[in-house]
Structure 1
Amino acid sequence: MKLIVAGATGFVGRELIRQSLSHPKITSVVALGRSRAEAPETLPASADASKLKAVVIQDYEVYPEEVKKAFSGADACIWTVAITPSRSKTYDFEEVKRICQTSATTGLRAMHEAGLATPFRFIYMSGAAAERDPGKTPNFMPEYSLMRGETENQLLAIGKELGGIEVAAVKPGLITATGDLRRLAIGFMVRVTTGIPTINVTDLVAAMLDQVVNGFEKEPLMPEDLIRIADRVSKAT
């Protein structure tokens, strides 16, 4: 399998690279980012760093031919490019929308133009609070949550329009990391106040890789689905 990781130098993207290089069914990893992605310094013995192809892009809305060439024949993409809810407060909303929404829809179309395997599986990493129904008013950051839900709708529609593309939104709660006490503390508060479970980044990535490799169990994939899939993957290894 040839996998594109969009946002490869981010928090989740780096873990995607680390696990992908050890995954026996993933033979090639296109690490797409605004800076060059590198293989982690410490990798398990099962990892193969030669799978990694770093592709630097200046703008996620502009895809030169050499970038499209790197996409050619890909089987799947996991799209992690976004501005998080907390960071979004420091940006103009149109810029947040451009990065969270326009870059994803443009990126999917650019991949299709490159020529892909069929079926091509596309994961859009969204969030548990994203709301697809424009008639509803979410409790959490309504404008942001509706925009993320609208993006999910647009990507699903593009997948149907282009054909041969399976799209699924992954909607985790707060993502934690082992040893990151700040994330763990915030995650505990989120879980207590909202009831939405947190997920460790290693488990989230394991679940997403399982889904692009083996097919989507359902759409969307909610926090409890991701935790369940990650647990199954852990027990199988």
Structure 2
Amino acid sequence: MKLIIVGATGFVGTEILRQSLLRKDISSVVAITRRALTSPPSSPKLQNVVVNDYDQYSDEAKTAFKDANGCIWTIAITPSKSSNYFWEEVVRVCQTSTMVGLRTMHEAGMGKPFRFIYMSGIAGERDQTKTPSFKPKYSLMRGATESQVLAFSKEKGFEAMAAKPGLITDGGIAKRAFASVLYYTMSVPSIKVEQCAAAMLEQVVCGIEKEPLLNDDLVEVSMRMEKEGKMV
């Protein structure tokens, strides 16, 4: 499989990259970043393509996309940081860039099969008639992006899925404590970053089991992988 990872220097993207290079069923990895990987893993199957932004793709990037079998898209402005930006910029990063990138991949020539995993969040609300309790404008926008991804995949005939984790942790004491507070005060579940990355990789490589995959689904997939000795 030839895999594209968009946002390979981020918290989750870094872990996806690490695991993808260790999986024998992934033969080629295209890491799309805005800055070059500072300590790139030594692997003959890794190609790092640097772009000016995630809604701008050079001929090099388009060539690298050709014949890919899957993509995991991790780029977004998180809910906690969204208030630090103008709303137009939040939409550009979270929604416009996603669709520009996806269309560019399609135009470059997708391999068969092609699976697109869009990493959204548990608060994303697709039903635009609802008013979510958590950051309603943001949650509706992320849900609308999920719907746009799925509609485009249906139109063009490839597979797509939204992964909707809760709080993603690194196993640190402070993050675990914060995760507990969120769960008991707001019922927000959590998942370890290695579990989230592993579950999304399993879906893009082996096939999408269900859509969407919520936090508990992602945990379940990763635990099954651990039992089967597939965690890397």
In structure 2, the gaps of 5 or more residues are none
1:39–1:52: 8 Å Cα contact kept in structure 2?
A: no
Q: Secondary structure at the match of 2:213?
A: coil
Q: Which residue of 1 aligns with 2:136?
A: 142
Residues 1:107 and 1:25: Cα distance change in structure 2 (over 3 Å): same
The answer on 1:69 being equivalent to 2:63 is yes
| SS of residue matched to 1:81 | coil
Q: Could you tell me how far apart the structure 1 residues matched to 2:105 and 2:174 are?
A: 36
Cα distance in 2 between the residues matched to 1:171 and 1:221: 6
The separation in 2 between residues aligned to 1:38 and 1:215, in whole angstroms, is 32
Q: In the alignment, which residue of structure 1 is the partner of 2:147?
A: 153
Residue of structure 2 in register with 1:7 after alignment:
7
Cα deviation for residue 38 of structure 1 reads 5.0
Q: Percent identity?
A: 55
Aligned partner of 2:80 in structure 1 is: 86
Of 197, 210, 219, which aligns to 1:218? Answer: 210
Give distance in 2, aligned partners of 1:22 and 1:38.
19
Distance of 1:51 and 1:119 partners within structure 2: 19
Asked if 1 retains the 8 angstrom alpha-carbon contact of 2:49 and 2:60, the reply is: no
Instruction: Name which of 199, 204, 208 aligns with 1:207.
Output: 199
- The Cα shift of 1:90 comes to 0.5
Q: Indicate the SS of the match to 2:124.
A: coil
When normalised by structure 2's length, the TM-score is 0.95
Q: CA offsets per residue over residues 183-221 of structure 1, 9 Å max, x none? A: 222211111122232000001011011111110110000
1:124-160 deviation line (CA, Å, top 9, x unaligned): 0000010000000111100000000000000111111
Aligned residues: 229
Which residue of 1 is the match for residue 221 of structure 2? Answer: 229
Aligned equivalent of 2:161: 168
TM-score for the superposition, normalised by structure 1: 0.93
- Whole-angstrom distance in 2 between the partners of 1:56 and 1:40: 13
Which of 122, 133, 149 aligns to 2:127? It is 133
Amino acid at match of 1:100: C
Q: Is the 8 A contact 1:5 1:29 kept in 2?
A: yes
CA distance in 2, matches of 1:38, 1:6: 16
Q: In the alignment, is the contact (CA less than 8 A) between 2:126 and 2:147 conserved in 1?
A: yes
CA contact (8 A) 1:204 1:227 kept: yes
Q: Partner of 1:185 in structure 2?
A: 177
Alpha-carbon displacement from aligned partner over 1:38-92 (angstroms, at most 9, x marks no partner): 5566xxxxxx622110000002112121110001110000000000000111001
Structure 1 unaligned segments of length 5 or more: list them. Answer: 42-47
Maintained 8 Å contact 1:126/1:170: yes
CA distance in 2, matches of 1:60, 1:197: 29
Cα RMSD (Å) of the superposition? 1.2
Q: CA deviation at 1:20?
A: 0.6
Conservation of the 8 A alpha-carbon contact between 2:118 and 2:163: yes
